[in-house]
């Protein structure tokens, strides 16, 4: 039986590191149940049946739950570290080019981790910190995030970025939340600051920080006059612009750019 388990593990998509042994722990009941049946099948048939039983028992794909158990460590801190809300939000995840729609997700901006709330097949749930090395992208409430390796496989920037495309460039936003370190009777553990955002543009293999209006004008120097006119007409302040406002701005720039 041990040999059978490890034959299955070897077929699991790489990387399979020490951080992902949660999966092995989760599948032990399935192993026992399957082994007790004493079905005489070939090894490949066993592997296929084994995979199907795991997916049935735990109500999810083993690739999706490739990660570590997540224990929320907020304590007495006021507020939360998550994107948009501390509640579970419905979103979609792409892992190794596989699509997993309608998942219960939280995006932790303090640690840059995507958290999954998944069913265990017996009306109970567990929370898992998904393996960033496997997550390609995800969507939450209409916001699209990608891992930076989409743009550079050799770069060590192990982070998720909100992303939307312009003509021949991609606009990226990295969000963060941090604890303020200020303690009081009402918040003995301190409080989480408001979300901060840093804007970038990725073009022709290079990442440019475009966090101020001056930097934005400098990057699009040939369109400065048109951009200033657009911002004024739509009452947009670049530094405080929301994602929907920036999407419209980038779309406007792209439409007025010669191919």
Work out the pLDDT band at 112, boundaries 50, 70, 90: very high
pLDDT digits (tens, 9 = 90+) for 18-76: 444 444 445 444 444 444 454 445 555 655 554 555 555 445 667 777 788 888 876 77
Q: Is the pLDDT of residue 254 over 50?
A: yes
* 71, 143, 187, 206 from 79: Cα distances, Å: 17, 21, 9, 36
The pLDDT of residue 121 is 57
Nearest alpha-carbon partner for 250 in 197, 205, 203, 195:
203
Decide if 67 contacts 128 (C-beta within 8 A): yes
User: What does R_g of the chain's alpha carbons equal in angstroms?
Assistant: 23
pLDDT digits (tens, 9 = 90+) for 187-205: 777 889 999 999 999 999 9
In 167-219, DSSP assigns E strands to 169-176, 196-203, 206-209
* Structure token pair of residue 116: 């999954």
Break the chain into its structural domains and give their ranges.
2-58, 72-211
């Amino acid at each position: 039986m041990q040999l059978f388990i490890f034959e299955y593990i070897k077929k699991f998509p790489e990387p399979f590191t020490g951080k992902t042994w949660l999966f092995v722990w989760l599948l032990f009941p399935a192993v026992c149940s399957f082994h007790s049946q004493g079905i005489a099948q070939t090894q490949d048939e066993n592997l296929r049946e084994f995979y199907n039983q795991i997916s049935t028992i735990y109500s999810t794909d083993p690739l999706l739950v490739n990660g570590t158990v997540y224990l929320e460590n907020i304590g007495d801190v006021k507020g939360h570290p998550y994107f948009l809300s501390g509640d579970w939000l419905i979103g979609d995840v792409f892992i190794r080019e596989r699509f997993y729609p309608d998942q219960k997700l939280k995006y932790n901006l303090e640690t840059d981790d995507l958290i999954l709330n998944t069913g265990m097949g017996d009306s109970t749930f567990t929370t898992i910190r998904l393996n960033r090395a496997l997550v390609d992208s995800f969507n939450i409430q209409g916001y699209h995030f990608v891992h930076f390796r989409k743009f550079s496989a050799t770069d060590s920037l192990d982070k998720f970025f909100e992303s939307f495309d312009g003509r021949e460039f991609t606009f990226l936003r990295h969000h963060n939340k941090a604890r303020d370190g200020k303690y009081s009777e009402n918040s003995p553990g301190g409080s989480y600051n408001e979300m901060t955002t840093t804007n970038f543009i990725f073009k022709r293999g290079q990442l440019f920080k475009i966090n101020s209006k001056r930097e934005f004008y400098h990057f699009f120097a040939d369109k400065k006059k048109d951009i200033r006119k657009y911002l004024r007409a739509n009452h947009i302040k670049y530094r405080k612009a929301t994602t929907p406002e920036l999407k419209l701005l980038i779309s406007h720039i792209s439409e007025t750019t010669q191919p």
